[in-house]
A and B are shown apart, each in its own frame.
Chain A
Amino acid sequence: MVEYGNYKETLTTKMPLTCELKLSFRPLDLMNKWQRCGLTADFISQFETIGQSHIRTKNVLSTAVNELLENAVKFSCDKTQHAHIHITSHETKIRIEVTNHSDKQDADTLKKFLTVFFSKDFDVNTFFIKQVEKGGNVGYGEGSQLGFYTLSHNYQSQLSARITKTESPEIYKITIAIELEKESAYDHKN
């Protein structure tokens, strides 16, 4: 098992849980009904912010869930396996975890990217330009890099990941987690 960023679920001990939601998907045929990703993201953001006038939180939460879910669907090697979304809401933060299973090649590419992303040498200023110049349509590490970068850089969220071997040497369990500030804290920082 390898972890990147501050993956450990410290929020639950630091801040009382105010709300929790878990969803599982199978089969992962969402590529054929792609709008389900956005529909799920919009549902979760509305569920989490219901009764609140937190428009920014709602928008950022939907954006983040959609991006993570799209990646999980695109890079799941076995569409008959589950993908999981786990959302926990706390006083000032929301944690989103998305888990899927990928093949060794995609897992290795992702590991390489995350190693660079969390290194001191990661060049924030040139990364975005290099990524969009590539034009997209590439593998997990590469295809998801722009999404991870924008979530981390644009929304002041904390990105982390855990990659675990499974019983099959060719299949890896991948969990990407992000922690977002809720609206009051977000607005205060901006």
Chain B
Amino acid sequence: MIIKTDEYRIECIDPTRAVIIGSLRLPTPSAYEPHFKPIKDKIEKLRDPYTINITKVSYLNSSGITAFANLIFFAKEHNVPLIMEASKAIPWQEKTMSSLEKLWSHLSIQFI
């Protein structure tokens, strides 16, 4: 499944991997729910690690940080290790993803 708007694109075709691109600035954490649901659907069916590539997410607001945290808690609940591929070239990613990494020992942030 691919969710595409003028601001962002969420590619969720591979059963073990999603790619998010663009600027994520939705008004509330709950506004992210329908867009992240395909990712949750994939995680729910997995035992192996799931990877989310966010290296091309240029902006994320604080509602989006909470939404990502909710995804991490969802993976934790289903005991599916999560790998998030991030980029140090984008300022918000380095610090925020390092903070999110503290939420769960089976969340791995890989800067590529």
Contact = CB atoms under 8 A, between A and B. Distances in A.
Interface of A: 31, 34-35, 37-38, 56, 59-60, 62-63, 66-67, 70, 74, 128-129, 131-133, 135-137, 144, 146-147, 150, 153-155
Contact of B66 (A35, A62, A132): A132
A63 B92 contact: yes
B69 interface: yes
B62 A146 contact: yes
Interface stretch (B12-20, B22-30, B45-53, B78-86): B22-30
Nearest to A30: B27
A74 B29 contact: no
Interface residues on B, range: 20 to 34
B61 interface: yes
Contact of B61 (A128, A132, A147, A154): A147
Given A135-B70, A136-B28, A154 B96 contact: yes
Contact of A63 (B29, B91, B103): B91
| Majority secondary structure, B binding face | helix
Given A74-B27, A137-B30, A59 B90 contact: yes
Interface of B: 6-7, 23, 25-30, 58-59, 61-63, 65-67, 69-70, 73, 90-92, 95-96, 99-100, 102-103
Contacts of A147: 61-62
Given A59-B58, A60-B91, A63-B92, A132 B25 contact: no
B27 A136 contact: no
A150 B26 contact: no
A38 B92 contact: no
